[in-house]
């Protein structure tokens, strides 16, 4: 669904991953204090490096942020959100994946805290602006059955 990050320095491309546990809950992380969007809750993920595929970025970010090992085949593209960020504003696109299989236990290596949430409760947490449409779209897709992931538990 997604190819490689464009080589434009102006656009910001970000991946986010909805890690879904056996009870159907989704992992979110709380951003560290002091930076942009400090103390807000978000899906784990981060910026694509030039020439990096979104799947490769998601795998790298989950390892760097949560000490998890994920295979590319376990990532399912769900939706995206677009807006702008920074000053002067730059176009920002966040690509959301869902994943039900990973190796390891999530650790908050780059976050203040982690929390498992019901999909319908995601958007009730304070989040960066573009995470709200991702959370709402993910919850709606889960309710309607349009997000079908593998029925296998975490490794």
Q: Is the pLDDT of residue 17 over 90?
A: yes
Q: Is the pLDDT of residue 101 over 90?
A: yes
Q: Sign of the CA dihedral 135, 46, 2, 81?
A: positive
Task: Give the per-residue pLDDT at 87.
Answer: 74
Q: Token pair for residue 77?
A: 């593209």
Which stretches of the chain are assigned E, i.e. beta strand? Answer: 12-19, 26-30, 41-42, 45-47, 75-85, 90-99, 113-117
**Each residue of 76-87: pLDDT tens digit?**
999 999 998 777
Quote the pTM value. Answer: 0.86
Among 30, 140, 145, 126, CA closest to 96:
140
Q: Token pair for residue 152?
A: 């296998």
């Amino acid at each position: 669904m997604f190819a490689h990050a464009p080589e434009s320095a102006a656009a910001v491309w970000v991946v986010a991953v909805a890690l879904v546990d056996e009870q159907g809950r989704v992992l979110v992380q709380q951003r560290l204090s002091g930076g942009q969007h400090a103390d807000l809750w978000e899906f784990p993920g981060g910026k694509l490096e030039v020439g990096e595929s979104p799947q490769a970025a998601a795998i790298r970010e989950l390892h760097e942020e949560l000490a998890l090992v994920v295979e590319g085949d376990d990532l399912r593209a769900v939706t995206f959100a677009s807006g702008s960020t920074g000053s002067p504003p730059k176009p920002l696109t966040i690509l959301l994946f869902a994943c039900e299989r990973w190796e390891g236990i999530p650790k908050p290596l780059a976050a203040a805290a982690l929390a498992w949430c019901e999909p319908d409760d995601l958007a009730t947490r304070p989040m960066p602006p573009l995470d709200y449409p991702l959370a709402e779209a993910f919850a709606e897709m889960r309710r309607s059955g349009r997000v079908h992931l593998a029925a296998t538990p975490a490794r």
